[in-house]
Amino acid sequence: MTDAPATLHQFLEGVRAGRLTAIRCSKCGTAAIPPKQFCPECGQRAWEPLTLSGKGTVASFTVIRVAPRGRAAEAPYAIAAVQLEEGVSLLGRVVDVPLDAIAVGLPVQFRPVQSLDQTVIGFAPAKDVLR
């Protein structure tokens, strides 16, 4: 049995540094993010680290027009569930895309985003990253 190499704290530290890391079950290959104690697929606890490319596509999204307290100036903005290449999905803020141009299937790339005094998970259009 291997200890999970990635804690939630380490995961968020990575986000701040512009890195996405997940864990992958060494028994069945299921990837998980953020870190979990046991594999949701096979119930084992045999995680190994998995560095994510950060590339994925928008699986679903919602536009926040009334933001939580303190973030009113940032609204409206979109939060998307992004299906990453490695098979895990992650919620993040969509940046650098006009709200009416966001669509399911849009290719995006992870980018850390500054929101108030926090770094949050963001996704920018993939084509911008390649340029």
Q: Please, which residue, 17 or 42, has the CB nearer to Zn ion? A: 42
- Region near Zn ion per CB under 5 A, out of 8-16, 17-25, 58-66, 117-125: 17-25
Length of the chain: 131
Backbone dihedral angles phi then psi of residue 32, each to the nearest 5 degrees: -135, 140
CB 84 within 8 A of CB 90: yes
- Region near Zn ion per CB under 5 A, out of 35-43, 51-59, 68-76, 89-97: 35-43
- 25 near Zn ion, judged by CB under 5 A: yes
- Region near Zn ion per CB under 5 A, out of 30-38, 47-55, 82-90, 109-117: 30-38
State the Cα angle at 115 between 113 and 121, rounded to 5°: 40
Helices (runs of H) and strands (runs of E) counted in the chain: 2, 8
Q: How far is the CB of 45 from Zn ion (least distance, A)?
A: 9
Distance CA 125, CA 109 (A): 6
* DSSP H stretches of helix in 2-124: 8-16
- 101 near Zn ion, judged by CB under 5 A: no
- 30 near Zn ion, judged by CB under 5 A: yes
Residues that bind Zn ion (CB under 5 A): 25, 27-28, 30, 39, 41-42, 44
